[in-house]
Amino acid sequence: MSNKNKGKKPNGEVDEVTGTETTGHEWDGLKELDTPAPRWWLTVWLITIVFAIGYWFVYPAWPSVSGHTKGLFGWTQYTKLKAEQKEIIDRQGAYLAKFHKETFEQVAADPAVYEFARSGGAVVFKENCAACHGTGGEGRKGYPNLNDDDWLFGGKVDTIYHTIQVGSRSTDPDTHATMMPRFGDILKPDEIQDAATYVLQLSHGQPAQPGASWIRGQAVYAANCVSCHGEDGVGNRDLGAPALNDAIWLYGGRRDDVVESVTNARAGVMPTWKHRLSDDNQRMLALYVHSLGGGE
């Protein structure tokens, strides 16, 4: 190392080994050398200060009483975000334009547009539908599982789209409005128990030796239920009457659940999405729901 500083400062203490003056600060016997910074280092440091001052003017920097300085070019994170969003929306535009004018059949035949729509539908679903139907459309008691192959109103893309539009027992004039009556007001508790026996057997399979309750229940069913739920409980999609002969129970498949359903009736409500979502979004949703696995 250079010894040029040696003896330059007569009042300072000079370290013997390096020839550099000390600052006079001492910690546990160690003294700090007052080695000058290299000139280039100081230069870079000064440049960064100048750069920082430039920064104040170019970007929003200083708070004021009513807001903050705006910067020379009006740059904000928000305008940057807007610009980036615009770029993405422009990129989506090409797909969206195609999707907008294509029918469901045409979309299905166009893999790129289909995947675009399905991804869009997934996002719309998570924002709007997941609250009731679950993040994966798995549903829960009273809210149908959209993954299975049991549909109240039909599982084709068109019918799903229609259901999204009008909802179920919603404010829309075209909504799926039929309701099951409270059979607690019509039937005696014993009759309801018998009907439950019959209905459960529809799902589980007819017993080899029908019991007395089953035989009575069959009569109750024929008199009260068959008009909507159909012969052998096949259901009726025009009315939204669920099939009773399958393994899927929207309100639970135990005897108590069935008795409760018959006694007090059930009337699940889904709002109309016509006015909340754009038509494109509703169609994307229909494609997405259809693709969950139960689509017909």
Partner 1 sequence: MVQLFAKAEKIYPQRTHGLFRTLKWAAMAVLLGIYYAAPWLRYDRGPHVPDQAILIDLVGQRGYFFGIEIWPQEVYLLVGILILAAIGLFFATSLLGRVWCGYACPQTVWTDLFVLVEHIIQGDRNARRKLDAAPWSIGKLWKKILTHVVWLLIGLATGGAWVFYFNDAPTLVDGLLHFDLPTLTWTWILALTLSTYFMAGFARENICKYACPYARFQSAMFDRDTLIISYATERGEPRGKHKLGTDWEGKGHCIDCTACVVVCPMGIDIRDGLQYECISCGLCVDACNHVMEKMLLPKGLIHYDTENNQKRRSEEIATKVPASRGRMKWIRPRTVFYATILSFVGALMLSAIILRTETDLNIIHNRSPLYVRLADGDIRNNYQIKVLNKTHVDRDYTVSIEGMTPAEIRLLAAGDVAVPSLKVPANSVGEFRVQLIDHTDGAARVPITFILKDPVTGKVARHVSYFIRPQN
Binding residues for partner 1 (CB under 8 A): 2, 4-5, 8, 34-42, 107-112, 114-115, 118, 134-136, 138, 145, 147-150, 243, 246-248, 287, 290-295
Closer Cβ to partner 1, 196 or 287, answer by number: 287
Q: Please enumerate in sequence order all residues whose Cβ is within 8 A of that of 229, keeping only pairs 6 or more positions apart, or say none.
A: 221, 235, 236, 241, 242, 243, 244
101 dihedral zone (left: phi>0; alpha: psi -120 to 50; beta): alpha
Residue 249 C-beta: closest distance to partner 1, Å? 10
Residue 11 C-beta: closest distance to partner 1, Å? 11
Residue 138 C-beta: closest distance to partner 1, Å? 3
Q: How far is CA 85 from the centre of its chain?
A: 20
Exposure string of 110-131, with b = 16+ CB inside 10 Å and e = fewer, is: beebbebbbebbbebbeebbee
Closer Cβ to partner 1, 134 or 271, answer by number: 134
Residue 237 C-beta: closest distance to partner 1, Å? 13
**Residue 210 neighbours by CB distance under 10 Å:** 14
Does residue 196 sit in helix, strand or coil? helix
Closer Cβ to partner 1, 128 or 224, answer by number: 128
Closer Cβ to partner 1, 94 or 186, answer by number: 94
Closer Cβ to partner 1, 150 or 172, answer by number: 150
Residue 292 C-beta: closest distance to partner 1, Å? 8
Q: Could you say which DSSP state residue 148 is in?
A: S
The answer to whether the CB of 283 falls within 8 A of the CB of 124 is: no
Residue 133 C-beta: closest distance to partner 1, Å? 11
Residue 160 C-beta: closest distance to partner 1, Å? 12
Closer Cβ to partner 1, 22 or 35, answer by number: 35
Q: Name the nearest CA neighbour of 164 among 19, 23, 276, 11.
A: 276
Strand partners, 30: 27
Residue 4 C-beta: closest distance to partner 1, Å? 8
Q: Name the nearest CA neighbour of 104 among 296, 286, 293.
A: 286
**Residue 54 neighbours by CB distance under 10 Å:** 11
First to last CA, the chain: 84
Does residue 143 sit in helix, strand or coil? strand
Sign, CA dihedral 161-166-167-169, equals: negative
